[in-house]
């Protein structure tokens, strides 16, 4: 047994997340957390809402709400959406929490004491009408290069050229449209990432088990030369820049830390809040002088977050000179695309977490998004594929298997697990099959290869159907009831096993299955691994045990559903 700390990239506060966000960080992290718990590891799964930054302020403004109230409401909404998707966070915190304020300020002070923070002056677009500085993307104007009129301050959509907002012709605020903008000088704190470049490279090179996606992105940034990064912003909502005595730093009134500086620190702060709430101890998870060396720390994120987790946050950690835990495994995902294109709220393309649950149970989404996880490359979501994996994998392969054998048991064996019979060829076959497949499944989970884990899970379910065909209890029943009994007994034990291995992905259906055939809670963990005792697994249920035939576990998605959803959410044509 080991201690595993799991974090998934913090979902940003400005709205309920779409399926791509779910599939690329929270969901795989949850499935990994569940699988590791079932294997007997001590798991701590931490997540939180990322609440600072310009978009949060603007979203609140658009809703006519105070930022704090808006974030409070959105935090609750996301927390609820997570709960409905059965994300098994041990703690779901907020980056705006008091604990994070204190920790972020402490980190900054420590970094400055070690000479890794400098104050510099930069030039930034200020909008008088909006009364705020504008991030590059919120300034628009005419592209100095191609004359395109809707060019954003960071990049022109017309010619694709990278821009500096200062160079835009006729700049205006994308927030209000006002042309009353000017360039102002403003002072900020810079984190001297460049100073730690060599340490970071050494650390990245030594990292084992990261997907190529993660290492290649990290090395690319290092190769280009790490630039020092501003870690403060001219905003009101956020973590104030303070001195050690808690007073606001001179010249930093009206400034706060940059969201990307404080967000990863929230992983730690949220753990502190978890400890405070549960009476747990946070330090053994995060302080290497308190035992965190024993912890396996795994981060889940989309590829856009890699640089922050592989470089910026480690700069904070290493730069502090204190014994904080660094990430061990960085699992990065590509994007889920919508029929190959982008998710877009405005164009009615894509499904958001809350809407998703209106149209199908969370298990359906969990299964499909994991079986088609964007691990190797971007993965296209289509309604047709969704229908196919739900109907075929869940309804036909698993659901129908559970149904056929439990109903047969109810009809011919009085709903009780039958005794009698001697194992033969079919039993030897399924035993051999499981003896290779179950260790394989475990290996996939341990390697965090989710698509493969799902393929293996499905293959195990499918083997159950093949076993029943071979054992054919309905044929034997006519001449030899004992021979039929063993088929039913093995079949029902397979149901139990299938439910057990299904738990990380489709927890609701798994619970229904295990309840129906009476597997007690304490018999649902994975006490199998490299040395799987298959015979014991297939005779785990006590003879005579009452078996209930569950209702239809997975109802199928009809073509008419697909048509209706395409109409509502957009499809191939966008």
Site for RNA in 467-496 (CB under 7 A): 468-469, 472, 474-475
Nearest to 262 by CA among 288, 284, 239, 279: 239
Report the residue number, 90 or 456, with the smaller CB distance to RNA: 456
d(CA 248, CA 70): 25
d(CA 187, CA 124): 10
Q: Strands 91-94, 42-49: parallel, antiparallel or unpaired by DSSP?
A: parallel
d(CA 481, CA 21): 53
Report the residue number, 282 or 408, with the smaller CB distance to RNA: 408
574 Cβ partners below 8 Å, 6+ apart?
339, 341, 347, 349
Of residues 381-400, which lie at the interface with RNA (CB under 7 A)? 382, 385, 388, 392-397, 399-400
Q: Minimal distance in Å, beta carbon 336 to RNA?
A: 9
| Rounded-to-10 torsion of CA 550, 368, 382, 390 | -20
Does 233 bind RNA (CB under 7 A)? Our answer is yes
Long-range contacts of range 55-61, CB-CB < 8 Å, 24 or more positions apart? Answer: 55/12, 55/14, 56/12, 56/13, 56/14, 56/237, 57/132, 57/235, 57/236, 57/237, 58/14, 58/175, 59/13, 59/14, 59/15
What is the DSSP secondary structure assignment for residue 525, as one 8-state letter? Answer: S
Report the residue number, 224 or 358, with the smaller CB distance to RNA: 224
Question: 522: which 2 tokens?
Answer: 């304490």
Residue found by looking up tokens 């007997």 in the block = 40
Of the candidate residues 213, 310, 438, 454, the single one contacting RNA (CB under 7 A): 213
Site string for RNA, 543-562 (x = CB under 7 A): ---------xxxxx------
Q: Strands 295-302, 329-333: parallel, antiparallel or unpaired by DSSP?
A: parallel
Question: 104: which 2 tokens?
Answer: 């972020």
Does 340 bind RNA (CB under 7 A)? Our answer is yes
Q: Minimal distance in Å, beta carbon 384 to RNA?
A: 7
Does 405 bind RNA (CB under 7 A)? Our answer is yes
Are 5 and 44 in contact by the 8 Å Cβ rule? The answer is yes
Site string for RNA, 263-282 (x = CB under 7 A): x-------------------
d(CA 365, CA 361): 7
Report the residue number, 209 or 340, with the smaller CB distance to RNA: 340
Does 218 bind RNA (CB under 7 A)? Our answer is no
Of the candidate residues 42, 170, 289, 466, the single one contacting RNA (CB under 7 A): 466
Report the residue number, 3 or 404, with the smaller CB distance to RNA: 404
d(CA 541, CA 60): 55
Size (the chain), residues = 574
Q: Minimal distance in Å, beta carbon 235 to RNA?
A: 8
Does 162 bind RNA (CB under 7 A)? Our answer is yes
Q: Minimal distance in Å, beta carbon 15 to RNA?
A: 11
Report the residue number, 20 or 284, with the smaller CB distance to RNA: 20
Helix (H) or strand (E) holding 332: strand 329-333
Window contacting RNA (CB under 7 A); options: 80-88, 152-160, 413-421, 537-545 = 152-160
Of residues 35-64, which lie at the interface with RNA (CB under 7 A)? 50, 52-55
Does 411 bind RNA (CB under 7 A)? Our answer is yes
Of the candidate residues 98, 184, 236, 342, the single one contacting RNA (CB under 7 A): 342
Does 322 bind RNA (CB under 7 A)? Our answer is no
Are 205 and 175 in contact by the 8 Å Cβ rule? The answer is no
Q: Minimal distance in Å, beta carbon 43 to RNA?
A: 25
Window contacting RNA (CB under 7 A); options: 134-142, 172-180, 430-438, 559-567 = 134-142
Size of the site for RNA (CB under 7 A): 89
Does 377 bind RNA (CB under 7 A)? Our answer is yes
Of the candidate residues 185, 206, 224, 253, the single one contacting RNA (CB under 7 A): 224
Site string for RNA, 505-544 (x = CB under 7 A): ----------------------------------------
Q: Minimal distance in Å, beta carbon 467 to RNA?
A: 8
Q: Minimal distance in Å, beta carbon 486 to RNA?
A: 15
Residue found by looking up tokens 């088609």 in the block = 372
């Amino acid at each position: 047994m080991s201690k595993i700390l799991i974090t998934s990239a913090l979902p940003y506060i400005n709205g309920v997340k779409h399926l791509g966000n779910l599939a690329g960080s929270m969901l795989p992290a949850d499935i990994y957390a569940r699988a590791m718990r079932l294997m007997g590891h001590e798991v701590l799964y931490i997540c939180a809402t990322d609440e600072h930054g310009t978009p949060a302020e603007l979203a609140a403004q658009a809703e006519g709400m105070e930022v704090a109230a808006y974030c409070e409401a959105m935090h609750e909404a996301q927390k609820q959406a997570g709960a409905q998707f059965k994300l098994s966070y041990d703690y779901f915190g907020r980056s705006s929490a008091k604990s994070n304020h204190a920790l972020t300020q402490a980190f900054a002070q420590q970094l400055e004491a070690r000479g890794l923070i400098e104050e510099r002056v930069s030039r930034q677009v200020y909008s008088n009408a909006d009364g705020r500085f504008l991030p590059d993307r919120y300034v628009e104007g005419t592209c100095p290069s191609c004359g395109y009129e809707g060019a954003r301050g960071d990049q022109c959509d017309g010619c694709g050229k990278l821009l500096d907002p200062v160079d835009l012709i006729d700049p205006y605020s994308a927030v209000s449209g006002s042309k009353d903008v000017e360039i102002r000088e403003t002072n900020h704190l810079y984190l001297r990432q460049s100073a730690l470049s060599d340490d970071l490279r050494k650390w990245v090179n030594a990292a084992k088990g990261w997907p190529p996606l993660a290492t290649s992105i990290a090395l690319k940034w290092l190769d280009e030369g790490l630039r020092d990064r501003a870690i403060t912003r001219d905003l009101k909502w956020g973590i104030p820049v303070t001195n050690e005595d808690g007073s606001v730093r001179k010249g930093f009134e009206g400034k706060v830390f940059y969201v990307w500086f404080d967000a990863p620190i929230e992983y730690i702060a949220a753990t502190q809040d978890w400890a405070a709430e549960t009476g747990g101890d946070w330090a053994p998870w995060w302080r290497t002088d308190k035992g965190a060396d024993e912890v396996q720390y795994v981060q889940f994120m989309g590829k856009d977050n890699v640089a922050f987790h592989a470089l910026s946050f480690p700069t904070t950690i290493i730069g502090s000179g204190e014994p904080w835990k660094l990430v061990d495994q960085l699992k990065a995902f590509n994007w889920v695309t919508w029929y190959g294109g982008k998710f877009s709220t405005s164009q009615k393309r894509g499904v958001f977490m809350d809407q998703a649950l209106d149209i199908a149970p969370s298990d359906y989404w969990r299964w499909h998004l994991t079986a088609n996880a964007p691990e190797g490359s971007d993965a296209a979501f289509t309604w047709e594929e969704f229908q196919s994996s739900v109907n075929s994998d869940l309804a036909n392969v698993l659901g129908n298997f559970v149904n056929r054998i439990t109903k047969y048991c109810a009809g011919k064996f009085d709903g009780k697990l039958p005794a009698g019979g001697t194992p033969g060829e079919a039993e030897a076959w399924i035993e051999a099959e499981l003896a290779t497949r179950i260790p394989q499944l475990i290996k996939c989970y341990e390697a965090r290869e989710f698509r493969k884990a799902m393929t293996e899970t499905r293959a195990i379910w499918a083997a159950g159907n093949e076993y029943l065909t071979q054992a054919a209890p309905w044929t034997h029943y006519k001449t030899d009831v004992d021979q039929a009994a063993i088929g039913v007994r093995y079949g029902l034990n397979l149901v139990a096993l299938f439910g057990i291995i299904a738990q990380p992905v489709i927890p609701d259906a798994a619970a229904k299955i295990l309840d129906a055939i009476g597997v007690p809670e304490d018999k649902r963990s994975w006490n199998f691994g490299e040395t799987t005792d298959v015979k014991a697994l297939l005779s785990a249920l006590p003879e005579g045990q009452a078996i209930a035939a569950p209702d239809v576990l997975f109802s199928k998605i009809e073509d008419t559903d697909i048509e209706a959803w395409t109409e509502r959410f957009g499809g191939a044509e966008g």
